[in-house]
């Protein structure tokens, strides 16, 4: 008896795992300098997985395959591609970090990053809550180790904090899955939707499930008030890992959140959208205000990531294709800006991890005009100023929120953006209008500059010609189930 298996929508994950296994064996068996081979294997895995993902754009089979475990819609394709792009840039940055500091270098970086990417591409396509949980654990466990990989005190402390709080949030998520099963008798997201539609009367269990799932995923997207781990982990982790996880984890967790809430719990949307709006409001305000008080660039960008999680949640208060599309566009734009800005942080000084305070940016324009220009572009985009991707993305999510009747939330978002602009403009002023005080040298290595160039190109292209992707995003926002 052979079960009827359609593995095609699952090929990206298979490719990534295969590349990771090859990398792991190579790390165990090979001797001598190994990073070129590691990088080649990992890049090949990511490129092939991207190709397999692209081929799924026109997939015409069932909405879910493998006994309802994997969804085949275009949301999964677009989110996967974003995650793979982030992984590509993360690999370049990580390879450079290894070249710069061979003492702290571990070849396990490459397989672990691929395993984390596998978890992320799996979670965006997961159509069963058990698979969502499985993918969440795969990506989280890999990221805990990646965070602590250099073995320095700060990294180990960040890793342990991330692990403890992450395990705590996984428990919330799992409890939510149990409650969903109690309420509907299934863990398959489409069947949950069917079970909840048209049900009247007692909904206590399903509402409790919605709240618990929102807490669990809220931790992962670092929405306030579940953001406590974000600054410490972003600061303690190697900058290359921070760049990768700030972008890719957000995309993965938000795609899972969209599928769980906008498909599975669609029938309860009048109950959960106020919760999402409250999380969005708290995140936007707390993230923007606390970013002002930071003297370390990585912590500042971490609080900014909390605020951006709030903006994306703002878009999701509109539980329809408009809201999903706006949030997806925001995720793509945010990935480019955050990877780019963390890549700049990594090369601002040749000492990398040791200098992340704002003073290192004094007079960066005099030292390295290209780097300063790229950083200015990312910061302006993070602030949401035209003609950058950040502006178009913000317009999209605010428009979706207003369309859903959350005018106050959109207003709050605009006000918080104004407050947060100070954070970003402060760095730009330091870079362009202040003379450098000490003789710092920025890192001239080519690999991180490729990642910076990719990020800058995406930020500019999406800002100037958003029409290039709006059609893709719109068709990805229509969920098949």
Partner 1 sequence: MLSEYLPIAILAALALLFAVGSLVASGLLRPHRPTPVKLSAYECGNDPVRLPRGERFSIRFYVVAMLFIIFDIETIFLFPWAVAARELALFGLIEIAVFIALVFVAYVYVWKKGGLDWAGGSLTPIEAEAASEAPGPREEVGIRAG
Q: How far is CA 480 from the centre of its chain?
A: 23
The b/e string for 293-317 (b: 16+ C-beta within 10 A; e otherwise) is ebebbbbbbbbbbbbbbbbbbbbbb
Across the strands, what pairs with 65?
70
Do the Cβ atoms of 53 and 12 come closer than 8 Å?
Answer: yes
Answer yes or no whether residue 25 interacts with partner 1 by CB under 8 A.
yes
Answer yes or no whether residue 202 interacts with partner 1 by CB under 8 A.
yes
- Single out the residue of 72, 117, 230, 235 in contact with partner 1 (rule: CB under 8 A): 235
> How many Cα neighbours within 13 Å face the side chain of 455?
38
Question: Residue 79 corresponds to which tokens in the numbers above?
Answer: 């989110």
Of residues 38 and 259, the one with the C-beta less far from partner 1: 38
> In whole angstroms, what is the distance from residue 218 CA to residue 59 CA?
31
* Alpha helices for 66-188 (secondary structure H): 74-100, 109-125, 129-148, 153-184
Of residues 186 and 335, the one with the C-beta less far from partner 1: 186
Cα distance from N-terminal residue to C-terminal residue, the chain: 28
Of residues 8 and 154, the one with the C-beta less far from partner 1: 154
Element (H, E) at 193: helix 189-196
Q: Least distance (Å) from partner 1 to the CB of residue 13? A: 13
| 3 state DSSP class of 62 | coil
Answer yes or no whether residue 7 interacts with partner 1 by CB under 8 A.
no
Do the Cβ atoms of 337 and 455 come closer than 8 Å?
Answer: yes
Stretch of 27-35, 317-325, 332-340, 464-472 contacting partner 1, by CB under 8 A: 27-35
- Single out the residue of 32, 33, 58, 103 in contact with partner 1 (rule: CB under 8 A): 103
Stretch of 90-98, 146-154, 167-175, 245-253 contacting partner 1, by CB under 8 A: 146-154
Q: Is the peptide bond before 427 cis (omega within 30 degrees of 0)?
A: no
Answer yes or no whether residue 40 interacts with partner 1 by CB under 8 A.
no
- Single out the residue of 6, 134, 156, 387 in contact with partner 1 (rule: CB under 8 A): 156
Answer yes or no whether residue 251 interacts with partner 1 by CB under 8 A.
no
Question: Residue 381 corresponds to which tokens in the numbers above?
Answer: 């985009």
Q: Least distance (Å) from partner 1 to the CB of residue 98? A: 13
Q: Give CA angle at 285 (272, 212), nearest 5°.
A: 30
Of residues 234 and 311, the one with the C-beta less far from partner 1: 234
Answer yes or no whether residue 3 interacts with partner 1 by CB under 8 A.
yes
Answer yes or no whether residue 204 interacts with partner 1 by CB under 8 A.
yes
Answer yes or no whether residue 2 interacts with partner 1 by CB under 8 A.
yes
Rg, Å, the chain Cα set: 21
Answer yes or no whether residue 167 interacts with partner 1 by CB under 8 A.
no
- x/- letters, 376..415, toward partner 1 (CB under 8 A): ----------------------------------------
> In whole angstroms, what is the distance from residue 196 CA to residue 188 CA?
12
**With CB under 8 A, what is the number of residues at the site for partner 1?**
25
Of residues 314 and 356, the one with the C-beta less far from partner 1: 356
> In whole angstroms, what is the distance from residue 398 CA to residue 317 CA?
10
> In whole angstroms, what is the distance from residue 242 CA to residue 102 CA?
19
- Single out the residue of 51, 61, 151, 369 in contact with partner 1 (rule: CB under 8 A): 151
Answer yes or no whether residue 205 interacts with partner 1 by CB under 8 A.
yes
Stretch of 77-85, 200-208, 253-261, 334-342 contacting partner 1, by CB under 8 A: 200-208
- Single out the residue of 6, 8, 11, 27 in contact with partner 1 (rule: CB under 8 A): 27
Stretch of 155-163, 245-253, 411-419, 432-440 contacting partner 1, by CB under 8 A: 155-163
Question: Residue 121 corresponds to which tokens in the numbers above?
Answer: 């591409």
Do the Cβ atoms of 341 and 451 come closer than 8 Å?
Answer: no
Answer yes or no whether residue 232 interacts with partner 1 by CB under 8 A.
yes
Do the Cβ atoms of 219 and 171 come closer than 8 Å?
Answer: no
Stretch of 139-147, 151-159, 239-247, 379-387 contacting partner 1, by CB under 8 A: 151-159
Interface contacts to partner 1, rule CB under 8 A: 1-3, 21, 24-25, 27-29, 103-104, 150-154, 156-158, 202, 204-205, 232, 235-236
């Amino acid at each position: 008896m052979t079960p009827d298996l359609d593995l095609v929508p699952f090929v990206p994950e298979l490719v990534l795992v295969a590349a990771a296994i090859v990398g792991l064996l190579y790390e165990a068996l090979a001797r001598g300098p190994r990073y070129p081979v590691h990088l080649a294997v990992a890049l090949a895995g990511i490129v092939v997985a991207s190709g397999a993902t692209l081929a799924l754009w026109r997939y015409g089979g069932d909405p879910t395959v493998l006994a309802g475990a994997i969804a085949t819609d275009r949301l999964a394709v677009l989110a996967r591609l974003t995650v793979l792009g982030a992984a590509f840039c993360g690999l370049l940055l990580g390879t450079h970090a290894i070249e710069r500091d061979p003492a702290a270098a571990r070849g396990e970086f490459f397989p672990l990053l691929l395993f984390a990417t596998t978890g992320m591409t799996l979670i965006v396509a997961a159509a069963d809550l058990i698979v969502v949980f499985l993918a969440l654990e795969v990506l989280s466990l890999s990221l805990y180790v990646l965070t602590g990989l250099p073995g320095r005190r700060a990294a180990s402390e960040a890793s342990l904090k991330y692990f403890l709080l992450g395990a705590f949030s996984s428990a919330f998520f799992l409890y939510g899955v149990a409650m969903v099963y109690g309420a509907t008798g299934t863990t398959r997201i489409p069947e949950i939707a069917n079970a909840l539609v048209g049900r009247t009367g007692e909904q206590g269990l399903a509402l409790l499930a919605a709240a618990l799932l929102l807490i669990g995923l809220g931790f992962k997207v670092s929405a306030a008030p579940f953001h406590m781990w974000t600054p410490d982990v972003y600061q303690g982790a190697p900058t290359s890992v921070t760049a990768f996880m700030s972008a890719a984890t957000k995309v993965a967790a938000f795609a899972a959140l969209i599928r769980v809430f906008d498909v599975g719990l669609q029938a309860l949307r009048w109950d959960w959208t106020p919760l999402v709006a409250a999380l969005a409001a708290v995140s936007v305000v707390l993230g923007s205000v606390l970013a002002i008080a930071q003297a370390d660039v990585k912590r500042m960008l971490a609080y900014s990531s909390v605020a951006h999680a709030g903006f994306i949640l703002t878009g999701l208060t509109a539980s329809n294709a408009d809201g999903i599309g706006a949030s997806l566009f925001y995720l793509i734009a945010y990935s480019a800006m955050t990877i780019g800005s963390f890549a700049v942080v990594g090369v601002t000084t040749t000492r990398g991890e040791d200098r992340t305070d704002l003073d290192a940016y004094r007079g960066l324009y005099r030292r390295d005009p290209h780097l300063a220009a790229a950083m200015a572009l990312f910061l302006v985009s993070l602030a949401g100023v035209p003609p950058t991707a950040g502006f178009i993305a913000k317009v999209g999510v605010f428009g979706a929120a207003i369309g859903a009747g959350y005018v106050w939330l959109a207003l709050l978002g605009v006000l918080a953006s104004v407050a947060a602009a100070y954070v970003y403009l402060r760095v730009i002023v330091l870079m362009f209008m202040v003379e450098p005080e000490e003789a710092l040298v920025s890192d001239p290595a080519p690999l991180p500059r490729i990642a910076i160039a990719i990020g800058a190109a995406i930020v500019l292209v999406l800002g100037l010609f958003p029409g290039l992707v709006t059609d893709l995003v719109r068709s990805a926002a229509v969920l098949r189930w």
